[in-house]
Structure 1
Amino acid sequence: MTSEQLPHRRLNRLTGEWVLVSPQRMKRPWQGERKAAAETERPSHDPACYLCPGNERMGGTRNPAYSGTHVFPNDFPALLAEEAGENAGSLLRQEPARGEARVICYSPDHSSTLARMDDAARQSVIENWCAQSAELGKRWAHVEIFENKGAMMGASSPHPHGQVWASDFVPTIVEREDRHQRHYAGEQGSTLLADVLAAEIEARERVVAEDENWIAIVPYWAAWPFETLVLPRKKIARLEDLTESEKSSLAALLGKLLHAYDALFDTDFPYSMGWHGAPHALGEDNDHWWLHAHFYPPLLRSAEIRKHMVGFELLGEVQRDLTPEAAAARLRELVQ
């Protein structure tokens, strides 16, 4: 075996965690069964859907007859404005966690997805992401914008939608990314993701899609089979800092990436995705930050077979067989 075919570990520079890569377990770039998921056609309006225009939500609130994106307070928020008690001196420690949560309906069309929308509709969603980050960032420490797509990823409704959770604390993973980016900047005198971007552009082997403003890669340290990282080509700290041109080209690039996902197993590809920008608690102390989006799709071998984080991955560290380079090549072939 060549060195590339032997087991090795890769360091996730953003989190400091290691990923075990075992390429010798794959005799070819892809193996195993391939069968399409059994899918049903969805109507453009579902009278039973609590996210469709005009329908009643839990608690009696009725959605307006919206025609574009629609934002409303989450009826079952994970964060509230009320403050819980604290027991900082206890072994079993707790501290207050305050915030607010919102739902973003991407489209009135119940059958649509972010992948199926045209660029103009996707740009409208992006405009909304930026507006939510700017507004909520004025009063909360961090604004997490994310989407869980598909029942496999725990989405409570197939209607195209995402969520916004704003908190008075910086969540653990974001805090970890902040710490590692800050440390790298202090040690190297440069921005971590700028250096990663330059290395990926030079190597080319993990690039999936790109344009003049954005690039999508399977990161060198990817944990999920077809995980991708979407990065701006220039330093941008937060979503609200994007120009109109950058929003427009992001809409087009996301269309290419998401179409490739759907084409991979000929299915409505599930995923969890989210934006990481500089926490608003940092104020202007964010020179080490580079805006990016994580896409974590679970499918491994077919439309119905997913990767589960079990065994060694739960008890030791993340492990993958399919190399990030092979995954990127598969996705790159499907980009249109």
Structure 2
Amino acid sequence: MDAPHRRFNQLTGEWLLVSPHRTARPWQGQVEDTAPVSRPAYDPECYLCPGNKRAAGATTPAYDSTYVFDNDFAALLPTASGPSSGGLLRAEPERGICRVMCFDPRHDLTLAGMQVSAIRRVVDAWAAQTTELGDIPWVRHVQIFENRGAMMGASNPHPHGQIWATEHVPGEPAKEIARQQAYGECLLCDYLAVELDAGERVVCDNDEFVALVPFWAAWPYETLVLPRRHRGALPDLDDAARDGLADILQRLTSGYDRMFGVEFPYSMGFHQRPTDGEPYPELHLHAHFYPPLLRSATIRKFMVGFELLGQAQRDITPESAAERLRALSRR
């Protein structure tokens, strides 16, 4: 598939343009700083290190595992007080709870550098937060995500992610839910079977989970992480599946880091069933990784121009991206 073509994203119903012949084009655009990252195990100036005072005045306790707290500068509040209007200028209040999860007390670690047993504690905390927040009557969706690296807007280098519980299902998961429900059976179960049979886009796998570059990937080294067995949400995972997810996350993120010899930036997040009490039998738990680096540690993909005004476009094929990641994500 070296000629320009387009691919259909089954999860969103949108098309993607693939232009493999553009990989040879010269680059005179922005070049990122690749200064070596060196962080201490504890930083007295870090708001998220154990025992330190945060910017809003609260003190982070001396935690020794994962630690979750309500975001001091939350984007949403649990009380509905926003504007309400209809017609062409439609607006309505939105309630929400925003939390921060510190993955580990050590300031110098990321998921890629953590032991699988430590990542398992993170997985358990994600599942517990999904249950706790999902049990709030007005919460309909729990979005777990991580922005890794300054390039992705992370405001603090300490290993952490976020959890936003919202009154309504956000736009991106809503598109995926509609597509999966329209399919009838489980779209992602069938899709995973096709990918496992083909093999060329699989990056790494174990008995419980598979990481692959989706056929319709828009970002250069985008990946999709899926449980082999049908599960709708993180709390549904048993002990073996949680261990498997921890293993895949460690292998995938450490593989990213080996790609260009830097802490690979990305935005990652889980899509799981809404928490409104409905069964959603068609929905299959999955995680998206969206890393921006394209050719090297200094050149990234920008979603601009045609991507903003037309449709997503990529240069390197998903198959070539998977081949490179696969070689770097082995045990």
TM-score interval, smaller chain = over 0.9
Match of residue 215 from structure 1: 210
1:287-298 pair list within 5 angstroms? 287-298=281-292
How far is the alpha carbon of 1:72 from its aligned partner? 0.6
Match of residue 315 from structure 2: 321
How far is the alpha carbon of 1:40 from its aligned partner? 3.2
Secondary structure at 1:294 match in 2: strand
Unaligned runs of 5+ in 1: none
Contact preservation (8 Å) 2:84, 2:93: no
Contact preservation (8 Å) 1:231, 1:293: yes
Are 2:232 and 1:237 aligned? yes
Greater mean deviation of Cα atoms: 136-145 or 32-41:
32-41
1:137-148 pair list within 5 angstroms? 137-139=134-136, 140-148=139-147
1:89-139 Cα distance to aligned partner (Å, 9 max, x none)? 232110110010100000110000011000110000000000000110111
Supply the distance in 2 between the matched residues of 1:31 and 1:285 (Cα, whole angstroms): 51
Identify which of 284, 288, 299 aligns with 2:293. Answer: 299
1:140-179 pair list within 5 angstroms? 140-179=139-178
Distance 1:90 1:309, change over 3 A: same
Contact preservation (8 Å) 2:82, 2:94: no
1:51-200 pair list within 5 angstroms? 51-139=48-136, 140-185=139-184, 190-200=185-195
Contact preservation (8 Å) 2:66, 2:101: yes
1:38-89 Cα distance to aligned partner (Å, 9 max, x none)? 1231011111100000000122110111111111100011110121345342
Match of residue 263 from structure 2: 268
Runs of 4+ in 1 over 6 A off after TM superposition: 30-36
Scaled by the length of structure 1, the TM-score of the pair is 0.94
Which residue identity does 2:283 align to in structure 1? W
| Equivalenced residues, count | 326
Distance 1:300 1:142, change over 3 A: same
Secondary structure at 1:255 match in 2: helix
Scaled by the length of structure 2, the TM-score of the pair is 0.95
Supply the distance in 2 between the matched residues of 1:259 and 1:32 (Cα, whole angstroms): 27
Supply the distance in 2 between the matched residues of 1:136 and 1:87 (Cα, whole angstroms): 25
Contact preservation (8 Å) 1:54, 1:64: yes
Identify which of 270, 280, 284 aligns with 1:286. Answer: 280
Contact preservation (8 Å) 2:147, 2:153: yes
Unaligned runs of 5+ in 2: none
Secondary structure at 2:294 match in 1: coil
Determine what percentage of the aligned residue pairs are the same residue: 54
